[in-house]
């Protein structure tokens, strides 16, 4: 949890796009942590507050670790997010799968993502056009948060939180 306090004048300047700012800050923290080799046990959350005592340009930031059980997620480049639970997530074009990809290059049941003792893995389900991890066609492979998974035109990443 990251809490950010801004003065009233600065908070007013961010009015109208505060949600976008929070989303960008959360993603920046995730990317920095990955580049430093860190992993999160839970989601990164940023909250912004107003402090009438802060002067223009002054910012106060406090961080807090909130423990919890790890819940890996599959994050799609279109903004959707899927919890990876005990049962595999099927990715495909069929409306009956957990992760629907509306792309004619995606098979009805294209790939599956599941939890392993070491983290998360993906397996291609004999799709016509293949499943790619970091630009390489794969049949099955373990994933890390740095990996770029491509199914059709959609990209995915894993968040081990």
Per-residue pLDDT tens digits for 128-149 = 999 999 999 999 999 988 899 9
pLDDT digits 0-9 by tens, 80-134: 989 998 899 999 999 999 999 999 999 999 999 999 888 899 999 999 999 999 9
Rounded distance, CA 77 to CA 151, Å? 11
Each as own residue / partner, the long-range contacts of residues 78-82 (CB below 8 Å, 24 or more positions apart, any chain) are 78/154, 81/159
Query: Cα–Cα distances in Å, from 148 out to 59, 67, 133, 136, 145?
Result: 34, 27, 6, 10, 8
pLDDT class of 31 with cuts at 50, 70, 90: confident
Query: Cα–Cα distances in Å, from 65 out to 19, 41, 62?
Result: 22, 9, 10
Predicted structure pTM score: 0.63
Rounded distance, CA 147 to CA 132, Å? 10
Rounded distance, CA 20 to CA 14, Å? 10
Rounded distance, CA 99 to CA 23, Å? 22
Q: Which residues pair with 90 in a beta bridge?
A: 112
């Amino acid at each position: 949890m990251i809490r950010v306090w801004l003065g009233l004048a600065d908070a007013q300047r961010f009015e109208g796009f505060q949600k976008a700012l929070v989303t960008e800050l959360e993603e920046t923290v995730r990317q920095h942590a990955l580049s430093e080799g860190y992993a999160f046990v839970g989601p990164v959350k940023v909250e912004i507050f107003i402090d009438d005592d802060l002067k223009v340009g002054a910012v106060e930031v406090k961080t807090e670790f909130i423990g919890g059980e790890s819940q890996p997620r599959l994050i799609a480049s279109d903004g959707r997010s899927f919890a990876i639970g005990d049962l595999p997530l099927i990715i495909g074009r069929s409306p009956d799968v957990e992760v629907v990809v509306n792309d004619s290059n995606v098979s009805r049941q294209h790939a599956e993502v599941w939890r392993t003792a070491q983290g998360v893995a993906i397996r291609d389900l004999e799709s016509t056009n293949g499943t790619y991890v970091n630009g390489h066609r794969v049949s099955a492979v373990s994933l890390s948060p740095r990996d770029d998974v491509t199914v059709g035109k959609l990209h995915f990443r894993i968040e081990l939180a």
